Amino acid sequence: MNANWLLPIGLGLGMTLTVLAITHGPLDRLDLWLDQQDSPATAQANALSPIINCLNQMDVPLRLAHQAYLAAGSPRATAAGAYDISPHGGQDIDSVYRFACPGSITDKLKILTPDSPLLSATEQYLQVLGRFVTLTKGAYMQRKGYGHPLSDAQLDQFLSQLEPQRRDYLKASTSVRQLLEILDVEPRSEQLMRLEQRLDRNVHWALLDYMIQARSTVELLAEGVRQKTLTPEQLAETTRQLRQAQDTRQQFLHIEQPDKDTQKALYLWQLIAEPSDQYLHALDRLHRDWLDHAAPQRLSDDYHAITQGYDQMLYRYNKLARKQY
């Protein structure tokens, strides 16, 4: 938000805030009004932010757990703990659900765009998520010895419930993801443009540019796979552009006595370096295997490695960016 608005708005509305703090809805309206003083894109980005945060904190670790479980062959013996998200960067699944995905995550969007299809998709996702958390959390706690351990009959019952609920969950989360992809691209692009206008192409601009290109790359692949229009040449070119954006970081590493904001951005970039490299390696591997006419299953595995690498990078980026900015 433009800092020039803060002082006059704060003086003019200081007493009003005390009154409005009694209810949540008016504060949402006030927040949106303040956002719109910066730009409509800022208002939309901030209205989407709680939904994006929910998916980042909950859906990304759950999908990583799901992929790991499938990769292991979906063993019956570990099914009860398969969707414990803590090994994938998440906290306790119930805690993340309660704190990152409350029903209020759609409040700002309801005010800003009350007819948005994302509203019903997100509400459906939250309902399905709640049931999935209850099912998997209960089984995990029993497996850890809280209460009676799962008997064979209870495990069979859990497995019979897991498959349809897992399918419903993935369908609901995919629906929200696809709608967010459409709505979130324009605000991020405008944010990049405004950042350049204010601060030139500094380290913050370069980092945001890289994250936008990383997202555009995975979206290009997803669309190309769905429509069967992706070519090896397109894959090679988008990978080249993404690596070029990543390499931009190097020019900021030699700044003598960087200020604190630059240090924070470089630190964040450093912490996403490992999943970022994995993401690029997976893209290279898919391109190489494609040219070598690898088996369809190998290409499918490569594609899943790409989406997994992107999800891991995005999870780490968003988690750290919220703490630093």
pTM exceeds 0.75 for this model: no
The alpha carbon dihedral of 204, 206, 210, 213 has a sign of positive
Angle at the Cα of 97 from the Cα atoms of 93 and 100, rounded to 5 degrees: 125
At 247, list the tokens.
């390499």
C-alpha–C-alpha distance, residues 31 and 38, integer Å: 11
pLDDT of amino acid 26 = 40
pLDDT for the residue numbered 23? 32
> Residue 290: is it exposed, middle or buried by C-beta count within 10 angstroms (0-12/13-18/19+)?
middle
Contact in structure between 276 and 221 (CB atoms under 8 Å): no
In 3D, which of 74, 95, 76, 75 has the Cα closest to residue 85?
95
Residue-level pLDDT, tens digit, the chain, 325 residues: 333 322 222 222 222 222 222 233 443 443 433 344 345 666 777 788 889 889 888 888 888 888 888 888 989 888 888 888 876 555 678 888 888 898 889 988 888 888 999 999 999 999 999 999 988 887 766 656 565 667 788 888 989 999 999 999 999 999 998 888 777 655 566 666 665 556 566 787 888 888 888 988 988 888 888 788 889 999 999 999 999 998 888 877 777 777 787 788 888 888 888 889 999 999 999 999 999 999 988 888 888 888 888 888 887 787 666 544 4
Separation of alpha carbons 270 and 116, rounded Å: 37
CB within 8 Å of 109: residues ≥ 6 apart: 47, 48, 51, 116, 118, 119, 122
Cβ count within 10 A of residue 104: 12
d(Cα 236, Cα 239) in Å, to the nearest integer? 5
Distances (CA, A) of 234 to 31, 189, 238, 266: 42, 22, 6, 30
220: Cβ–Cβ under 8 A, 6 or more apart, which residues?
230, 234, 238
- Residue 108, amino acid: K
